[in-house]
Structure 1
């Protein structure tokens, strides 16, 4: 009964978003109420469940996403992303342009949300492709692959950070494992797949792209932008802090939290927690991309305000996903899933991935799919004794699969590279599915070692 209500709830959510073009956040709250009633929850307690879901979801995430958006915008507005891309491309030369684009996208993608990363990198990719005389899509696919992988696998991005919070996983550990899985995944989906795609959909590589879709472009003179080293350091600062904490805990304490932590243990744990890591990184970015370059405080503050405006709806959507997740847990759906698969001889990692894939195909949003899947597998994961960090990556990989017409990323890719719907399905959709499958394979291999 509970699973039937869940399926009907997902169908309702899909109907509201796709058919009636309703706002995703509003759709999630409406669906949460309807599903809660369908699950037989007392009407007086539904509002409390939804409030608890939103509150628990956005507690730490509001800090992480807010600071992350500000940091990314500071790097972008200062020309740091422009400097990173051009320096790497000049260093790698024309023969290794794809690797240069992947590296640039990876570094920039860690500091920026997926949509912002695409808007920022597409003009640079276009300019490089035209100058080098190569098809725009031959650089566009590696760029999209690297941005997607950082979006799905690596904190402080919304989906992996949010799933880690739900499943109680260590964000630094997720980051470390995520990088290990991400490198071969990006090679397969970004570089190897580009060669295959050119053979079976050659028409897609003949388009000149559509820069008009991006609106007015901010132009930079290379000599006016921050140095390459400072730009990279600023972009990767939160990653470095979280990685230091994780490596320290693994080397000094074998990954187990000490019962009586010393002063140094407390300091290391403090700087590595995602919210504090992002705060420290933002303060560094304000100096490196602002005060150090003699930019006035009002201009820096304006950049921060614009950054927050750009993620306001994303935060609400993530909160709505938390409400839906909480209703499913409080209504007993999680226990039903646990009972359904208790006797099934399937790895919980594969199950988490599969649930995320189904939700992704149905809902479109990677973040909402990942959050809902995390809520459903939570009771199953506790009984199976699976490493939460690996489950975060499995769900993150599944949430990227089979992006199609109900996903904003699909239409962004189509418009910017001037593709037909068929060409977008044969390139973008396949690319995202390769990332999902390769990501799961990497997680399963990693589970044999750690």
Structure 2
């Protein structure tokens, strides 16, 4: 019965978003209330469950996402992304253009939202493709692969950070394992897949793109942008801080927090916690991308304000996803899933991935799919003793699969590269599914050693 209520809830969510064009946050809350009633939760406790879900989900995430969005906006407004891309492409040369695009997109993708990253990189990729005389998609697919992988696997991006919070996983471990899995995933779904795609959908590689779909673009003079080292350091600063804390803990304390921490232990844990790492990184970005370059403080503050506006709805959607997840847990759906698979030979990691894939196909939003999946697999994960960081990555990989017409990323890729719907399905949708499959393979391989 509980599984039927869940199915009906997902159908309701789809109808509200797709048919009635309801705002995703509002649709999530309405669905959460409807599912709670269907599961027989006391009406007086439904509001409390929803509030707890939103509060638990956004507690630390509001800090992390807010600071991260501000840092990304500072890097973008200063021309840091422009500098990174041009420097790497010039350094690698025409023969290794794809690898240059992958590396540039990976670095930029860590600091920026997927949507912002693609808007900044597409004009650069267009210009380089024309100059080098290569098909646009030859560079566009590796760019999209790198941006998608960072979006799905690596904190401080919304989905992996939110799932880590929901599953009580250490963000540093998610980041470390995520980078290990991300590298081969990007190479397979990027440069390798582009060669295969060119053979079975050659028409897509003849397209010249559509820059007008991007709207007005800010132009930069290379000599007026930050230095390459400054732009890269600023983009990767939060990753560096969290990596230092993770390596320190895993090297000296076998990955377990010490019972009697020293002053150094406390300091490393402090700078490595996601919220503090992001705060320190933002302060560094304000100096490196602004004050050091003699940018007026009011202009720096303007960038920060615009960054906050850009994530306001995302935060609400993540909060709504947390509310839906909490209702599923409080209503017993998570335990129903656990009982359904007791004695099953299916790995909880594969199950978490499959649930995320189904929700992604149905809902479109990778973040909402990931959060809903985390609520369903939490009891199962606890029972099976699965590594929580690996479960985060399994769900994150599944949440990227089979992007199609209900996903904004699908339409962005279609419009920017001037593809037909069929060509987009054969390139973008296959690309995202490849990332999901290779990512799961990496998770399962790592699980043999962790």
TM-score bracket for the superposition, by shorter chain length: over 0.9
What's the TM-score, normalizing by structure 1? 1.00
Q: Which residue of 1 aligns with 2:22?
A: 22
| 2:261 is aligned with 1:261 | yes
Q: How far off its partner does 1:157 sit? A: 0.4
Q: How far off its partner does 1:416 sit? A: 0.5
Q: How far off its partner does 1:45 sit? A: 1.0
| 2:343 is aligned with 1:349 | no
Q: Which residue of 2 aligns with 1:396?
A: 396
Q: How far off its partner does 1:286 sit? A: 0.1
Q: Which residue of 2 aligns with 1:84?
A: 84
CA distance, structure 1, for counterparts of residue 431 and residue 424 of structure 2: 10
Q: Which residue of 1 aligns with 2:161?
A: 161
Runs of 4+ in 1 over 2 A off after TM superposition: none
Q: Which residue of 1 aligns with 2:149?
A: 149
Q: Which residue of 2 aligns with 1:428?
A: 428
Q: Which residue of 2 aligns with 1:11?
A: 11
User: 1:230-249 maps to which residues of 2 (within 5 A)?
Assistant: 230-249=230-249
CA distance, structure 2, for counterparts of residue 2 and residue 61 of structure 1: 30
Q: Indicate the SS of the match to 1:449.
A: coil
Q: Which residue of 2 aligns with 1:387?
A: 387
Q: Which residue of 1 aligns with 2:173?
A: 173
CA distance, structure 1, for counterparts of residue 276 and residue 172 of structure 2: 13
| 2:276 is aligned with 1:308 | no
CA distance, structure 1, for counterparts of residue 394 and residue 342 of structure 2: 19
CA distance, structure 1, for counterparts of residue 84 and residue 416 of structure 2: 21
> Could you report, residue by residue, the CA deviation over 1:246-278 in whole angstroms, capped at 9, with x for unpaired residues?
000011101111000011000000000000000
Q: How far off its partner does 1:449 sit? A: 1.2
Q: Which residue of 2 aligns with 1:40?
A: 40
User: 1:147-226 maps to which residues of 2 (within 5 A)?
Assistant: 147-226=147-226
CA distance, structure 1, for counterparts of residue 306 and residue 389 of structure 2: 33
Q: How far off its partner does 1:46 sit? A: 0.8
| 2:15 is aligned with 1:2 | no
> Could you report, residue by residue, the CA deviation over 1:68-88 in whole angstroms, capped at 9, with x for unpaired residues?
000000000000000000000
| 2:131 is aligned with 1:117 | no
Q: Which residue of 1 aligns with 2:339?
A: 339
Q: How far off its partner does 1:344 sit? A: 1.1
| 2:140 is aligned with 1:132 | no
> Could you report, residue by residue, the CA deviation over 1:10-41 in whole angstroms, capped at 9, with x for unpaired residues?
01111111111111111101100110110011
| 2:68 is aligned with 1:71 | no
Aligned residues: 450
CA distance, structure 1, for counterparts of residue 43 and residue 171 of structure 2: 36
Q: How far off its partner does 1:156 sit? A: 0.3
CA distance, structure 2, for counterparts of residue 8 and residue 232 of structure 1: 47
CA distance, structure 1, for counterparts of residue 52 and residue 383 of structure 2: 24
> Could you report, residue by residue, the CA deviation over 1:141-169 in whole angstroms, capped at 9, with x for unpaired residues?
00000000000000000000000001111
Q: Indicate the SS of the match to 1:188.
A: helix
CA distance, structure 2, for counterparts of residue 140 and residue 315 of structure 1: 29
Q: Which residue of 2 aligns with 1:358?
A: 358
CA distance, structure 2, for counterparts of residue 104 and residue 300 of structure 1: 24
Q: How far off its partner does 1:184 sit? A: 0.4
Q: Indicate the SS of the match to 2:45.
A: helix
Q: Indicate the SS of the match to 2:258.
A: coil
> Could you report, residue by residue, the CA deviation over 1:95-114 in whole angstroms, capped at 9, with x for unpaired residues?
11100000000000000111
CA distance, structure 1, for counterparts of residue 126 and residue 373 of structure 2: 37
Q: Which residue of 2 aligns with 1:419?
A: 419
Structure 2 unaligned runs (5+)? Answer: none
CA distance, structure 2, for counterparts of residue 354 and residue 135 of structure 1: 35
Q: How far off its partner does 1:126 sit? A: 0.7
Q: Indicate the SS of the match to 1:281.
A: helix
What's the TM-score, normalizing by structure 2? 1.00
> Could you report, residue by residue, the CA deviation over 1:327-375 in whole angstroms, capped at 9, with x for unpaired residues?
0001000000000011211100000000000000000000000000011
Q: Indicate the SS of the match to 1:160.
A: helix
CA distance, structure 2, for counterparts of residue 319 and residue 213 of structure 1: 31
CA distance, structure 2, for counterparts of residue 311 and residue 448 of structure 1: 38
CA distance, structure 2, for counterparts of residue 377 and residue 19 of structure 1: 29
Q: Which residue of 2 aligns with 1:108?
A: 108
Q: How far off its partner does 1:242 sit? A: 0.2
CA distance, structure 2, for counterparts of residue 449 and residue 47 of structure 1: 43
Q: How far off its partner does 1:44 sit? A: 1.1
